[in-house]
Chains A and B, each alone.
Chain A
């Protein structure tokens, strides 16, 4: 409740809070994309040959692909030759202690409210902070190492654990899975790698803060999480980006592999710059996130709170291969002003007795469009499988849009699929009731919206839930006239 009060006072502050640019010396390669550029990226990162081949294979396939246009989105043309595909802070990338870290960088974290020095002391959170493509600081590594857990930057994983990377990279998201995944596979700069060994329960939440920083640099993150037999991990991804006038492309790939009886919880709070009130600027977010429940009785759950980006194209999915495996998707997506979001999930049931749940809560305000798109596919062999989907839309005014595109394919008779959907407008009566108790309209909307999204917010780890509540409130500021 204390936090709620803080949130409320913060709500009264105006524009996008995280709009600032950190002045760090950055090494950027020339704009444009070609095989030479890919070779250059791979060489700069001193990658083994399998990585270069992976990239080149992806690039060659990407060249033959077209940008998808089936989403309910208006995407301005993207000039892929006008983007620089690699930017790294010039200074030494890995630090032994915080004293070595560029003070400007630390200041950035302070503005974000996630000072590393505090994070280090925070119980149970290890932070792999990614600023513009290269990991700068990884904490809690030693504690994790004792348990045999690997949590490091992707580049480091390629160097230190090439056998694991080679074994699992592209297993959930094949190189040519889709246009943006192929692009990412060709040019990804860095990201996070996580491996939980057999029988290990990760003792803390693993957390990565992403941040797009250099102007005109597309950000292509790659995350790979592998949970071996009987292991458990909860992974947090939080994002903020500085305010920019020109649009920035972001095309990340997240892959999760869960082996026998392993469980992976992946939580995201996404708060990238959504553009200004007139729809100028903002991040284009084309992300491919997919988990494979490869082992029996394994479980992968995606929980996301999406408030940012001008355009969001994102469908965290689960492929339920192992018998008795479980997939979950819990989402709150907020769009305001001119934001567009086409987001949802895919649950592909392959193994027997597999279960999936989709809870999607869309909130639209301003002149925005918010779409849920989901596929539930039960293959003939996935006997006795179950899916429950609930897709709710809340409209804050008459100028925004909410759309639901559910696709359901059931290949056998022993499975059960349920789909529920509601669309409602925020109640004037609810707002008036709050007003009459002394609560102003802005605060009332924050409360009502948080109440509406509660089912999903409750699934977030505690420290994230608070941040998510703030974001909901901040992103709907000024949405009532």
Chain B
């Protein structure tokens, strides 16, 4: 599904990713862990197509097509979703309008009929239950006045609506209490299927108790320095990142 080969990425002339290789097959969940500044968020953002990240060499294929060549909105419509670490506020734009546009852009892309307001509201209610979103939130402007936890839930709610084939969760667990964490994890797990994959970027093992990964990668100084099964996360939790730092 996703195939990253020897990816080098710079931001403002500084090299952040130094040769990333990663294969994600349909149905797999990959966790990417690592200390601050190792390049985790850069990887998430470069896959989503954020402008200021410059790919200096390497390639990324998504379903066999060159991902890096595509505009961010086309990547999204092809089924790549990024749950933002810091979801931005858009004052004055009601959540419900924003989401309806997003869903209908996806549907148009797939050649499906656009949803009417009524159909959309029905779909929205369904998905809200899934992540335990308070109905009032969708009447507010996008992320405006949302608490940290609500913003993260809102990301998962959007993911549930858009049903991406590859979801990238960029530190979705940060700032969440244990109940919110469970809710978020439940939302992600509900979407798991043999066709859908996820990349979970996190600092802590905690989230991986609830979203059990098939693979754990450790990113350090722009490179994946270790890859193993879910037990790697536990080992990391026990030994701390110093273990990685001394080894590399």
Question: Which chain A residues have a beta carbon within 8 Å of chain B's beta carbons?
Answer: 1-2, 4-5, 8, 427-430, 432-441, 443, 447-448, 450-455
List B contacts of A436 (CB < 8 A).
Answer: 48-49, 72-73, 76, 81-82, 84
Q: How far is the CA of A95 from the CA of B142 in the complex (A)?
A: 51
Within 8 A of A (CB), among B50-81: 50-51, 71-73, 76-77, 81
The distance from the CB of A362 to the nearest CB of chain B, in whole angstroms, is 15
What chain B residues lie within 8 Å of A452 (beta carbons)? 91-92
- Min Cβ gap B152→A in Å is 14
In the complex, the answer to whether A440 meets B91 with C-beta atoms within 8 Å is no
Which residue of A has the minimal Cβ distance to B83? A436
Q: Give A457's nearest chain B residue, CB to CB.
A: B92
Taking Cβ atoms with an 8 Å cutoff, the residues of B that contact A are 48-51, 71-73, 76-77, 81-82, 84, 87-88, 90-93, 97-102, 104-106, 109, 114, 116-117, 120, 141-142, 158, 162
Per DSSP, chain A at the interface is helix
List chain A residues, Cβ under 8 A from B87: 433
A47 to B71, CA, bound (A): 64
Decide: A438 and B109 in contact? CB cutoff 8 A. Answer: yes
Say yes or no: B162 contacts A437, CB within 8 Å.
yes
Q: Which residues of A contact B102 (CB under 8 A)?
A: 434, 437-439
User: Which residue on chain A has the smallest CB distance to residue B93?
Assistant: A451
Listed by A's residue number, 17 A-B pairs whose Cβ atoms lie within 8 Å are: A1-B100, A2-B117, A4-B101, A8-B101, A430-B88, A432-B48, A433-B90, A434-B98, A435-B72, A437-B99, A438-B76, A438-B77, A438-B102, A438-B106, A440-B71, A443-B105, A452-B91
> Which residues of chain B come closer than 8 Å to A430, judged between CB atoms?
88, 90
Question: What residues on B are CB-neighbors of A439 within 8 Å?
Answer: 73, 98, 101-102, 105
**B105 and A1 contacting across the interface, CB-CB below 8 Å:** no
Determine how close the nearest CB of chain B comes to the CB of A325; give it in whole angstroms.
30
Closest 3 CB pairs of A and B: A451-B92, A451-B93, A435-B72
A447 to B142, CA, bound (A): 11
Please indicate which of the listed interface residues A4, A436, A450 has the most CB atoms of chain B within 10 Å of its own CB.
A436
Given A4-B97, A5-B104, A451-B141, A435:B71 Cβ within 8 A = yes
Per the bound structure, the CA–CA distance linking A4 and B77 in Å amounts to: 20
A390 to chain B, nearest CB (A): 14
| Contact residues in B for A454 (Cβ distance below 8 Å) | 92
Query: Do A451 and B90 touch (CB < 8 A)?
Result: yes
Q: How far is the CA of A231 from the CA of B72 in the complex (A)?
A: 54
Q: Which of A432, A435, A450 contacts B92 (CB 8 A)?
A: A450
Establish whether residues B101 and A433, one from each chain, have CB atoms under 8 Å apart when the complex forms: no
Contact indicator A433/B100 (Cβ below 8 Å): no
Are A427 and B88 in contact, with the CB atoms below 8 A?
yes
Q: Once the chains bind, are B76 and A435 in contact (CB under 8 Å)?
A: yes
Q: Min CB distance, B172 to chain A, in Å? A: 14
CB distance from A276 to the nearest CB of B (A): 28
- Interchain nearest-CB distance for A1 vs B (Å): 5
Seed contacts A436-B49, A443-B105; 4 additional CB < 8 Å A-B pairs: A429-B88, A432-B50, A438-B106, A451-B141
- Which residues from chain B contact A450 at a C-beta distance below 8 Å? 92-93
Q: How close is A294's CB to chain B, nearest CB, in angstroms?
A: 36
Q: Establish whether residues B98 and A437, one from each chain, have CB atoms under 8 Å apart when the complex forms.
A: yes
Q: Shortest CB–CB separation between residue B204 and chain A, in angstroms?
A: 24
A438-B92 in contact given A428-B51, A432-B51 (Cβ < 8 Å): no
**Residue from B81, B90, B98, B106 with most neighbouring chain A CB atoms (10 Å):** B90
Give Cα A44 to B141, complex, Å. 56
> Could you say which residues of chain A place their CB within 8 Å of the CB of B109?
438
Partner of B114, one of A5, A437, A448: A5
A437 to B92, CA, bound (A): 18
Query: How near does chain B come to A378, taking the closest CB pair, in angstroms?
Result: 31
| Complex: chain A residue closest to B117, CB-CB | A1
- Hey, which chain B residues are within 8 Å of A437, CB to CB? 76, 98-99, 101-102, 105, 158, 162
Judge whether A438 and B93 touch: CB under 8 Å: no
A443 engages B71 (CB within 8 Å)? no
In the complex, what residues of A have CB within 8 A of residue B106's CB? 438
Query: A8-B101, A433-B84 given as contacts; is B73 within 8 A of A438 (CB)?
Result: yes
Is there an interface contact between B73 and A435, defined as CB atoms closer than 8 Å?
A: yes
Q: Give the residues in chain A near B82, CB-CB below 8 Å.
A: 436
Q: Are B92 and A1 in contact (CB under 8 A)?
A: no
A434 to B97 Cα, complex, angstroms:
12
